[in-house]
Structure 1
């Protein structure tokens, strides 16, 4: 009888654990965001950034910054440690307050996202130069979101 009761208790514990909501793996992550006007120059060669060439390089697909779909919403991401990262070209949603923009990662930025001034102004309602650096949240997004005008 004692082992039957123990088995029932264990079964109840397991079923309640299975019913508990799973943690959200795609939850937004807090991150520092700054700007660099170099990312606003459409004619800049992709050969000047970490995602230039190599297996994961972007220069063969997008030779200049301006050829990236969604330009000027491009920049460096903390998920790109350096040259030839598999995260090159990944689309990220950056949210500040109630505003979300989508950025295509083309460069390394170990301290947080470093995006163009135009993109930062979209994110901060034209306050980028006054704010300088902000804390926002980010999450991986679908590539289509970076290609659009969102």
Structure 2
């Protein structure tokens, strides 16, 4: 009787862990988004006081960063939709994967630092993600997945 109860408890614990894992994975579901670039993020000495994730409790300056170049994964930075000043989305990490017509895929990990209507990358990062034809077009689509901030060095 005791061993049956122990087995039931182990099964319940394993099942609960799987449910938690499935929920966590579902919250980081992949979506498709428009990706552009902004010259505002081109220079490493650009002050973080110029972006939405400047100060405030969730700001990057508050965490000790001063300019774009002080961020762990610069130039891989981005503006993102639904981010405002002092947003909890400041410093979040995103994986962007762009598929080319020949089937090859370029992937980048970027840190959210600003508000934007699209995923708005630094020119350097956009150029890598989109290739020369995408860079000339100024926009591409990508599969976007939110990751843990540690994936971007935070």
Q: Secondary structure at the match of 2:61?
A: coil
Q: Residues of 1 paired with 2:115 and 2:36: CA distance? A: 13
Match of 1:99 in 2: 106
- Alpha carbons of 1:79 and 1:102: their partners in 2 closer, same or farther (altered >3 Å)? farther
Q: Secondary structure at the match of 1:107?
A: strand
How far is the alpha carbon of 1:27 from its aligned partner? 2.3
Residue 73 (structure 1) aligned to one of 72, 76, 88? 76
How far is the alpha carbon of 1:128 from its aligned partner? 4.2
- More helix as a share of residues: 2
Q: Encode CA deviations 1:4-56: one digit per residue, 9 max, x unaligned.
A: xxxxxxxxxxxxxxxxxx79613211111100121011001101010011110
Match of 1:144 in 2: 150
Match of 1:36 in 2: 38
The runs of 5 or more residues in structure 2 that have no matched partner are 1-21, 100-104
Q: Secondary structure at the match of 1:125?
A: helix
Greater Rg by CA: 1
Q: Encode CA deviations 1:39-90: one digit per residue, 9 max, x unaligned.
A: 011001101010011110111321100000110000201141x111000000
Match of 1:57 in 2: 59
Match of 1:125 in 2: 131
Q: Secondary structure at the match of 2:89?
A: coil
Number of matched residues? 125
The runs of 5 or more residues in structure 1 that have no matched partner are 1-21
Q: TM-score, normalised by structure 2?
A: 0.74
Cα-Cα RMSD: 1.9
